Amino acid sequence: MADPLSFGVPIAPVGGAGRVYSAGAVSPAQQQNQQAGGGNSQADPPTQLALGTTLEAILRTPSAAAMGLAAGTHLMLRVVAVPTTETDDVLAGMVLDAVGNETLVATPIGILALQKRLAVPPGTKLVFEKIRVMAPQAGAEDIAAGIGEFSALDEALLLLETASPAIADQIKQPLMPATGPDLAGSLLFLWGVLYQGVWPGLAAGAAMGLKPSQRVNRDIAALRKLSLDPRTADWACYTLPFLFGKSLKPIRLYVPRRKPNTDDGTRFAVEVELSVHGPVQLDGLLRPGRLILVVRSHVAIPPGLKQELKTVFQNALNRSGLAGDISFAQARQFLISPLDGLRKHVEISV
């Protein structure tokens, strides 16, 4: 049987089942000089994957042939044609799947995460020329994991869907709540197991393999580390993974580090990024018998959605026996933003 990572025709999609992502993805060029169609659009045309395309990649899981490259190593790669001879600067790979905004590629040096989501199916062969190799920045991966880049858990779920579907379903169940009460229960469950307990467990670790399990455990340790990081000042930051469609996205919970004065109430914030409306933050103040909630967003929330949220909020108040009110505000920056300094430091966009 031929080595699946041997040199073959690049950018030639092959058939096969699997998760294929297309929304907002990078499209393969049918012709190298193909131009985008006419018409005005607010969105930029998709990046074309063609010979000469440059991509950033992160080495997620090094292999024995990685020649000392550590997990987290950054590579700048250029898509090239099949060379006549193999050299150290040329790297062949095969697409495994798309995870979030990344595309996982199996190569002789290990699993690479291309920092673009490509609209090519699993099994597609690619050939790259290595332009630059950069050592991982100290602490950058831990901060990225803590902020909510769940690449290790995403990859582990992908492996478990094949190795042990039952365990994969068991892990995914609390990550995809269907109702408001389910969401509240999932928040409490995930906060407990991620920050106080052991998760996803020995059975899952054994099914996914040693290295993926180690990466998941490292990312969970990064979540805990960020919650104690003094650079977030007066706020403890808890990041929880939830499944939106096929991708894991973070829900962030900000709570004050110091015990609040009961007369002032307890302030908190919950932040999530929506596919249509972008980042949204629920800025709350809980006082005895009363909850005040301000929904802040970078773009205006449509009137219909505002009314729906008001109805959901009022129903929740009625069930809990609380009084309260909800209001909406559009703001370029959120009032509670303890992670801004860390994002700038490691140049992370989430």
Q: Are residues 131 and 210 in the same domain?
A: no
Domain span at residue 189 reads: 141-346
What DSSP string runs through 285-306?
EEETTEEEEEEEESSPPPHHHH
66 in the same domain as 189: no
Task: Tell me if 280 sits within 8 A of 295, measured CB to CB.
Answer: yes
- Per the domain annotation, does 157 fall within a domain? yes
User: What is residue 85's predicted lDDT score, i.e. its pLDDT?
Assistant: 62
> Do 170 and 81 fall within a single domain?
no
The answer on 323 and 227 residing in a single domain is yes
Q: Are residues 79 and 125 in the same domain?
A: yes
145 and 87 assigned to the same domain: no
Indicate whether 34 belongs to any domain: no
Token code pair at residue 314: 């009022």
Convert the pLDDT of each residue in 48-78 to its tens digit.
567 788 888 988 878 878 777 887 788 999 8
Residues 66 and 110: beta-carbon distance below 8 Å = yes
Q: Which among 233, 274, 267 is positioned nearest to 253, based on CA atoms?
A: 267
Give yes or no: residues 107 and 241 share one domain.
Answer: no
> Is-above-0.75 flag for pTM?
no
The answer to whether residues 182 and 109 belong to one domain is: no
- At residue 333, the pLDDT reads 85
295/146 same-domain check: yes
pLDDT at 86: 64
pLDDT for residue 128: 92
Domain final residue pick, 78, 112, 136: 136
Residue 36 lies in a domain: no
pLDDT at residue 158, as a whole number: 79
Task: Indicate if 67 and 130 belong to the same structural domain.
Answer: yes
Judgement on whether residues 176 and 52 belong to the same structural domain of the protein: no
CA distance 252 to 272: 7
CB 271 within 8 A of CB 334: yes
Residue 342 CA to residue 331 CA, distance in Å, equals: 21
Integer-rounded Cα radius of gyration of the chain = 22
Is residue 63 situated within a structural domain? yes
Domain contains 183: yes
Number of H helices, E strands in the chain: 8, 14
Q: From its phi and psi, is residue 139 left (phi > 0), alpha (psi between -120 and 50) or beta? A: left
Last residue of a domain, one of 109, 136, 163: 136
Ordered mean pLDDT values, 10 residues apiece, the chain (350 residues): 39 35 36 36 44 84 79 86 74 82 86 84 88 72 59 79 86 80 78 81 80 81 84 88 78 85 82 82 92 93 92 90 94 86 48
Specify whether the CB–CB gap between 73 and 87 falls below 8 A: no
**147 and 125 in one domain?**
no
Residue 303 domain-assigned (yes or no): yes
The CA–CA distances, whole Å, from 285 to 31, 38, 94, 263, 327 equal 56, 50, 50, 11, 12
CA distance 179 to 161: 24
Q: At what angle do helices 151-163 and 165-172 cross, to 10 degrees?
A: 140
The DSSP result for 308-323, as a single string, is HHHHHHHHHHHHHT-E
Of the three residues 92, 121, 136, the one that is the final residue of a domain is 136
List, in sequence order, every residue forming a beta bridge with 79; answer none if it has no partner: 128
Q: Facing residues of 281 across strands?
A: 271, 296
Q: Is 294 inside any structural domain? A: yes
Q: How many domains does the chain have?
A: 2
Residue 118: inside a domain: yes
